Structure 1
Amino acid sequence: MAEIKSTMDMVMERAARMAAGPEDDNYLAEEQVKEGMRLGAAYMRGEGVGLGERLAALPPAEKGPVRKGAVQSLLRNIFLVREVEKQEVADKAMHGLVEIGQGDGELLKILAELKKILDGYRQHGLQLREQLEAQFSQQLAMMEQNLAKQTGRAMKLQPSQHPKFQEEWARIQDQLNEQYGKALQQLKDLVEQHLVMEVAP
């Protein structure tokens, strides 16, 4: 029968790994990255005031991994959205990245491009949906006439009620997500490289 490790055993093993020294540098770096992720998440919840200052105050050996974790955490909050209200999450994450970069001009340029991608995605999606609705409205006009003849009552149908509308809209969304998603990911990778390499030893 397999022996179940007690919590105390696991704590002792972790303490031993931390005390072991150079061969466990990777473990220590992973813990520091996780700490950075916690700082980033706290910032997004409104609890991490002065994120840039907190990272700048870290000892040089910890600065890189903790900063990397914070940057990764913030970048996860930047994604494609169709509603303006949901854009606030990405805006807050970008503000946190500006704090970490402490006004770095190159970073500001990358983030401006990133913002263009997010805005472009939303606007392009609205335009394409309006075009699709206009296209289906013509077909719906004929359906409304036929239904009026059959039922003797006038009916108003919405383009989204057309059987093929959702199918076509899903196809368009997939194309938009792929196109803008790739561009967004490239810029996010640039932000990470820029902020993390800046403090690399």
Structure 2
Amino acid sequence: MNRMKTAFEKAMERVEQMDEPGKEEKLEWKLIPVGQRLAGTYIKGGEGVFDDLESFEKDDQPYLVKGMIEVFVSNVQIPKSEAQKETNARVIDGIRRVLGDRPKCGEALEHLEYVLEQYWQFGREQRTQAFEQLKAQIEQQVYEVLSRQTGGSHQGMKVNVEAMPEFQQQWLRISGQLNVPYETHLQEYKKQIMDLL
């Protein structure tokens, strides 16, 4: 009688049928995470990471660079705060130091910086205006409902509309809509940088 194989036995059979990873795959598995750690260290303020990068053999450096650029690119975000603006500047400096001599790198970084600066100058103001408009609109709706329910005796009542689920839901939707053009361009230029690898 044939015995049924367990899921573990079936999985082990599939593993045995797999090809042995090549030298390049092994180097990727080993060195990309090292590059990612170097980038993380640099973002947090470490300065010696580029010397560390140069200390590796030339054949290993492309894998390290790939890991670094992956982390740098993933850390570029719309600057909603001064801290994020500073992080973006540091990340762009890191990309420039790693890829600066590659064709089209400067152009992609200029476009990236332009989108981030446009958001910093105009996008934040748009968000603030939209936030205040939504807040006033929801407050008016709440006070109208209170007037109907209490016969107009809601004077002096304070309502924290920002804590209301309806406000939060609408703000999330509006905020997302305001960010779409910036995010779209940001993703496009991030992809251009990744394509340089």
Q: Which range, TM-score by smaller chain?
A: 0.5 to 0.7
- Corresponding residue of 2:59: 61
Match of 2:30 in 1: 31
152-161 or 184-193: which moved more?
152-161
% same residue: 24
User: Is the alpha carbon distance of 1:99 and 1:50 closer, same or farther for their aligned partners in structure 2, counting shifts above 3 Å?
Assistant: farther
CA distance 1:123–1:52, change in 2 (3 Å) = farther
| Cα RMSD after superposing both structures | 3.6
In structure 2, distance between residues paired with 1:137 and 1:152:
12
Matched, 1:40 2:39: yes
TM-superposed CA distance for 1:37, in Å, is 0.7
Helix, strand or coil at the partner of 1:191? helix
Match among 173, 179, 186 for residue 171 of structure 1: 173
Whether contact under 8 Å (2:34, 2:64) holds in the other structure is yes
TM-score by length of 2: 0.68
Aligned partner of residue 188 in structure 2, secondary structure: helix
Secondary structure, aligned partner of 1:164: helix
Select between 74-83 and 111-120 the one with higher mean Cα deviation: 111-120
Query: Deviation string for 1:132-165 (max 9, x for gaps)?
Result: 2233344345356557756575213344356632
Provide the secondary structure at the position in 2 that maps to 1:82: coil
Report the number of matched residues: 178
| 1:109 equivalent in structure 2 | 110
Q: Which runs of 5+ in 2 are unaligned?
A: 1-19
Per-residue CA deviations over 1:175-199 (Å, capped at 9, x if unaligned) read: 34544333221111112223x2xxx
Cα gap change, 1:36/1:114 in structure 2, threshold over 3 Å: closer, same or farther? farther
Return the letter of the residue paired with 2:88. A
Verify the 8 A CA contact 2:32 2:66 in the aligned structure 1: yes
TM normalised by structure 1 equals 0.67
For the residues of structure 2 that align with 1:160 and 1:86, how far apart are their CA atoms? 24
Q: Matched residues in 2 for 1:40 and 1:121: separation?
A: 28
Unaligned stretches of 5+ residues in structure 1: 1-19, 197-201
Q: Which residue of 1 aligns with 2:7?
A: none
In structure 2, how many angstroms separate the alpha carbons of the residues matched to 1:96 and 1:110? 16
